[in-house]
Structure 1
């Protein structure tokens, strides 16, 4: 049954035929027709985002205040561990859908994430924090990959911009709300363990709902049966071939991959740099929590209209202008640093809105240019490059901050983000492929 099942061809054809026969019954494509399952997956992704949101405000400060780390690169090592692990898991997730159902991988991701909040709350050394982020990367790579793939499966090609917008909105709004909450909890209860233990709620709820949600293999089979562009009999849909196609051979996919990488590079950079930058300029934990929470909340909520808009005007305008808006956010952070709260809030607004424009448009663009038979591997490859940006951003931030200071690090992020937007304008196809 296509890449999600890895069944023999004869069995795959029988499943496609069954899905087609049932197209007017239980197996149908579309958001309204699958709203119950879609809504369950939205709630699951709230839990996914909430778990990673635990780290946005407190963990860089745990490194410097609790464990006494003096090197910014060492503090940011937890982001590097998270980013590398999540990126590799994203890549593997596409290939794993050839052997396992999406639901199986979703549940596995939650099982891996169970120790994370406990390790963050009571880690006896910084090495435990880094190890917890390896588990968190595995958890996020599997759970977030499967929720976005399953939503795309359910809605079909006509509404995938809206579907990805709703998926990412749920996840990143939860990231922001949790970052805001942990900032306030840290103010009143200390950096540990109270802020981290709210992650237990996310793990329990996410796992329980993932056991209830239905697999989407039959929806993929139905889309394959209805797809107007046949897959050549000699087409190579293996991970190696699709990795090359998505990374550099296909111009639009290459444009999306580099934009995704730089987008998360600047997110990884702000994840580590902003708490240190703004506390150095006199802000307390609650104010830093506000800044770190506002950014992903706007990023999350803004993806609902931007995803829908990308279905109407195309993907490229949102990607290009979104990257330029993000670059403007970094400029404002430095230009107004004499008034740090204002600088942080305005920067968070621009970064959040710019990222909201970019995120669903990039995922939808990759889906537009990928045949259903190799879409999971294409999305896995794109999400590999996107999330390796976390590690690249943390590494760049650590090196620049240790040598040139935090301000120079923010300048570098602005320049890279603007350059990436210009590359996206050159490479991404301005027209959505016909379906």
Structure 2
């Protein structure tokens, strides 16, 4: 009877962690549309400065994934996640200072950049710590389910955070929005305080780049998957406007519906049938969605392409994540997760400017051809790999403290 209760208790704890992660990601998502508006309209700077203030947070995230993973391995996932949430809160306070009217514009913008760098660090540390902690609570055999929940928390926050951030900016101003962004991670910090920690594993350390070499194939696959999502997110609306099609704002809605539905109903599949098999199907569906967007004769075909892209993108990260967990010993798990996430971060950060140059010369539809080719290359990469198709095996996890 006790054995039957343990997985349910662990799952409930991981759901609480996911809610805390959702609250922290709201601080990223709510500030995303508000920061360039603040820079351009309040500080009176050019759009390039607004774009830099947005993008530098993602650069900070990419550059600190390895450090976040090393923290998780050394001090445990709980303490790492708590540190990340505190950094989130400090980032919100720093960004709030930019609204002080006595500051010159250059000082306000410099403080904002510092806050955005801290925000990227907080995102990196909180997410990697949460994943390491949650897998420790649930066990390696359910790592696919854990990674699926992480994605739902992240993408759910991005879906809700954009319009919420603009509404708060309109009603409370930038300082009020940043105050809310400071409070959100503190609420999450309070929610996870009582959850038991998982003691870190002991074992010999390896360099970050050696671990990257171990996980390069699943990392490359998830990076290639990310090209399609980044292309859709950046250019779907412009694609519709260039064609004169209505309802340009529904692209991400269709993508999000497909993404969440698959995570809800298929999140267990990587653990049951192996991540490689799931990734092959998922990348095939994503590629079809991207090619349909490229060739769409009208808006409804394009919406179908966005839906297929969401259905496909949904499971690649958890499917390849289960393979990453299999390929490293538990004492290197946090570092491996951090490096694995960096592959997707890099794809998200590099895709929009790269395919934007292509769109200027060949039209917006070409960006989806690139997304389709990237997903196809990822499919070939996964199909040629020798991933273990058996269910994820249970391994001894550390004792739970408390």
TM-score for both structures, normalised by structure 2: 0.78
- Structure 1 position 261 matched with structure 2 position 229: no
Matched, 1:364 2:364: no
1:89 aligns with 2:68: no
- 2:285 equivalent to 1:299: no
Q: In the alignment, which of 244, 254, 279 is matched to residue 210 of structure 2?
A: 244
Equivalent-residue separation in structure 1 for 2:34 and 2:242 (angstroms): 15
Residue pair 1:94, 1:379 contacting (<8 A) in 2 also: yes
Distance 1:55 1:292, change over 3 A: farther
Q: Structure 1 CA distance, aligned partners of 2:341 and 2:40?
A: 30
Match of 1:38 among 11, 14, 19: 14
- Who is 1:418 aligned against? 376
Which residue among 309, 316, 322 is the counterpart of 2:276? 316
Matched, 1:109 2:96: no
Alpha-carbon contact 2:23-2:188 (below 8 Å) kept? no
Identify the residue that residue 290 of structure 1 maps to in structure 2: 250
Question: Is residue 385 of structure 2 the alignment partner of residue 406 of structure 1?
Answer: no
Change (3 A) 1:146 1:204: same
In structure 1, the residue matched to 2:183 is 204
1:434 Cα deviation (Å)? 3.8
Alpha-carbon deviation of 1:206? 2.4
Do the aligned residues in 2 keep the contact of 1:107 with 1:211 (CA within 8 Å)?
no
2:133 pairs with 1:150: yes
Distance in 1 separating the partners of 2:354 and 2:260: 25
* 8 A contact 1:324–1:417 mirrored in 2: yes
Q: Secondary structure of the equivalent of 2:331?
A: coil
Change (3 A) 1:117 1:63: closer
How large is the Cα RMSD of the aligned pairs?
4.1
> 2: CA distance between counterparts of 1:155 and 1:69?
48
Contact residue 41 and residue 213 of structure 1 kept, 8 A: yes
Which deviates the most, 310-319 or 397-406?
397-406
The total of aligned residue pairs comes to 383
For the residue of structure 2 that corresponds to 1:104, the secondary structure is helix
Contact 1:322 1:358 (8 Å CA) reproduced: yes
8 Å contact from structure 1 (residues 80, 395) kept in 2: no
Aligned residue number for residue 373 of structure 1 = 331
Contact 2:232–2:306 (CA under 8 A) maintained in structure 1: no
209, 230, 235: which one pairs with 1:273?
235
Q: 1:110 to 1:82 in 2, by over 3 A?
A: closer
In structure 2, relative to structure 1, the CA distance for the partners of 1:59 and 1:297 (3 Å cut) is farther
Change (3 A) 1:182 1:107: closer
Q: Is the 8 A contact 1:34 1:154 kept in 2?
A: yes
Q: Distance in 2 between matches of 1:300 and 1:178?
A: 16
CA–CA distance in structure 1, aligned partners of residues 19 and 143 of structure 2? 18
Report the Cα offset of residue 401 of structure 1.
3.0
Matches within 5 A, 1:169-188: 169-179=152-162
Structure 1 residues 310 and 374, CA gap change in structure 2 (3 angstroms): same
Residues 303 and 357, structure 1, Cα contact 8 Å, conserved in 2: yes
d(CA) in 2 for partners of 1:34 and 1:59?
Answer: 38
SS class of match (2:388): coil
Instruction: Name the TM-score, length of structure 1 as normaliser.
Output: 0.73
Match of 1:339 in 2: 298
In the aligned structure 2, how far is the partner of 1:428 from the partner of 1:200? 49
Partner in structure 1 of residue 307 of structure 2: 349
Alpha carbons 2:229, 2:313 under 8 Å: kept? no
Secondary structure of 2:237's counterpart equals helix
Residues 423/197 of structure 1: CA separation in 2 closer, same or farther (3 Å cut): farther
CA contact (8 A) 2:22 2:153 kept: yes
Change (3 A) 1:404 1:61: farther
Question: How far, CA to CA, are the matches of 1:330 and 1:107 in structure 2?
Answer: 36
